[in-house]
Amino acid sequence: MQETLIDQGVNLMLFGMGTVFVFLTILVFATSFMSKVVSRFASEEELPVPAANTPISSPAAASQPTPNIMSAIEKAIAAHRKR
């Protein structure tokens, strides 16, 4: 018996969704396996601890540009206005 267009569409949909499901399942297992392998063989680096007596700069001082940066900004603005 000949399949109808709806039957063919449903078969194609189920085949496509099944293929994607199998691929994503394999992908999840592969990434989990790789994560375990990498975490086993990767060395853990310790982060440096800042000294307690190191002064922390204020946010206002950090937001002020240096004279070199100011001159570069002024030159860029002047070059833009010449165009």
Task: Kindly give, in sequence order, each residue whose CB lies less than 8 Å from that of residue 73, ignoring residues fewer than 6 positions away.
Answer: 65
pLDDT of residue 13: 97
DSSP one-letter string for 1-69: -PPPHHHHHHHHHHHHHHHHHHHHHHHHHHHHHHHHHHHHHSPPPPPPPPPTTPPPPPHHHHHSPPHHH
Q: Give dist(CA 20, CA 14) in Å, integer.
A: 10
Return phi, psi of residue 71, to 5°.
Answer: -65, -35
Q: Domain boundaries in the chain? A: 1-42
pLDDT of residue 41: 83
Q: Is the pLDDT of residue 9 over 60?
A: yes
pLDDT in tens, 12-69: 999 999 999 999 999 999 999 999 999 888 777 766 776 766 556 666 656 788 899 9
